[in-house]
C-alpha cells in the first residue's frame, strides 16, 4: 500500500488546500497516481498557536468535513510540527502524531544547524514515546555543512523524502544517500494545491524501482498500531 506521508490537504487549515473541493481533487489525483493511504499533515508552529488544543479542534473539524466526502483513499490525520525550542514540552504533542501510529513528522528550521534541535527531537522521542520523522530531509542542504548533515543522518529517526527530490541532482543525491546507508525512509508529495505544488506521486513509479517503494511501505506498516 503506497502511502503519501506528507500533504497539506486539509481544507482551509494552513497554506495548503483552500476548499473541500480542492482537497477532493487533490485526493483523486493522488489515488490515480497510486497512493492508497494519505496522511494530512497541516503545519503546527508553536510560536503561532495560543493553545495547542485550539489547533487540534480546528484540525479535527477540517478532517471530519473531508471524511464526509468519502475520499477515495485511506485518510489519516497528522501534522507537520516545526522544531522550535520548547516544542518537546507541549503536553498534547502525542496528539500531533499520525493517527494509529507512533510517527510524528518534524520540520527542521531553515537556519544553520544548532545542537538544541537534536536535543528537542531526542526529548520528543523519549518523553512522548514517539518516532521522529524528519520532513523533506533533502531541503536542508544549503543550511548545513557536510559534517552537520552527517550528524542529522545519524539521528535515530525516519527520513521523509519529497517526490520533488528526484527531479534535481543535488536533492536526488541526498535521497540516494539515505537509500545507500539503509536508513528508514518514507515518501511524501508535500502537495499544497492543484497548480505549483500539486500531487506528483506518479513520479515515484517512474524514477524508483518497486522494491524501494515496498521498503517505504514496510517502514510505515511497522509503525502502525494494532
CA–CA dist 203, 226 (Å, integer)? 31
Taking a C-beta distance cutoff of 8 angstroms, is the pair 185, 161 a contact? Answer: yes
pTM: 0.97
- H/E element holding 105? strand 103-107
- Domains in the chain: ranges and CATH: 3-221 (3.20.20.140)
Return per-residue pLDDT of the chain as tens, 226 residues: 799 999 999 999 999 999 999 999 999 999 999 999 999 999 999 999 989 999 999 999 999 999 999 999 999 999 999 999 999 999 999 999 999 999 999 999 999 999 999 999 999 999 999 999 999 999 998 899 999 999 999 999 999 999 999 998 889 999 999 999 999 999 999 999 999 999 999 999 899 999 999 999 999 999 998 6
How confident is the model at residue 170, as a pLDDT?
86
Amino acid at each position: 500500500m503506497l502511502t503519501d506521508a506528507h500533504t497539506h490537504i486539509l481544507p482551509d487549515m494552513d497554506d495548503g488546500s483552500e476548499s473541500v473541493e480542492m482537497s477532493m481533487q487533490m485526493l483523486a489525483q493522488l489515488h490515480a497516481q497510486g497512493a492508497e493511504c494519505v496522511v494530512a499533515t497541516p503545519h503546527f508552529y508553536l510560536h503561532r498557536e495560543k493553545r495547542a488544543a485550539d489547533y487540534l479542534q480546528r484540525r479535527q473539524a477540517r478532517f471530519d468535513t473531508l471524511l464526509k466526502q468519502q475520499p477515495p483513499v485511506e485518510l489519516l490525520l497528522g501534522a507537520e510540527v516545526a522544531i522550535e525550542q520548547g516544542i518537546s514540552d507541549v503536553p498534547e504533542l502525542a496528539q500531533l502524531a499520525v493517527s494509529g501510529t507512533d510517527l510524528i513528522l518534524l520540520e527542521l528550521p531553515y537556519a544553520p544547524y544548532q545542537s538544541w534541535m537534536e536535543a528537542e527531537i531526542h526529548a520528543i522521542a523519549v518523553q512522548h514515546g514517539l518516532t521522529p520523522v524528519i520532513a523533506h530531509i533533502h531541503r536542508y542542504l544549503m543550511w548545513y555543512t557536510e559534517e552537520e548533515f552527517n550528524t542529522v543522518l545519524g539521528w535515530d529517526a525516519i527520513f521523509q523524502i519529497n517526490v520533488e527530490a528526484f527531479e534535481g541532482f543535488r536533492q536526488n543525491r541526498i535521497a540516494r544517500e539515505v537509500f545507500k546507508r539503509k536508513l528508514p525512509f518514507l515518501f511524501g508529495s508535500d502537495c499544497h494545491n492543484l497548480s505549483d505544488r500539486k500531487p506528483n506521486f506518479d513520479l515515484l513509479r517512474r524514477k524508483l524501482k518497486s522494491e524501494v517503494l515496498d521498503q517505504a511501505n514496510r517502514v510505515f506498516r511497522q509503525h502502525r498500531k494494532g
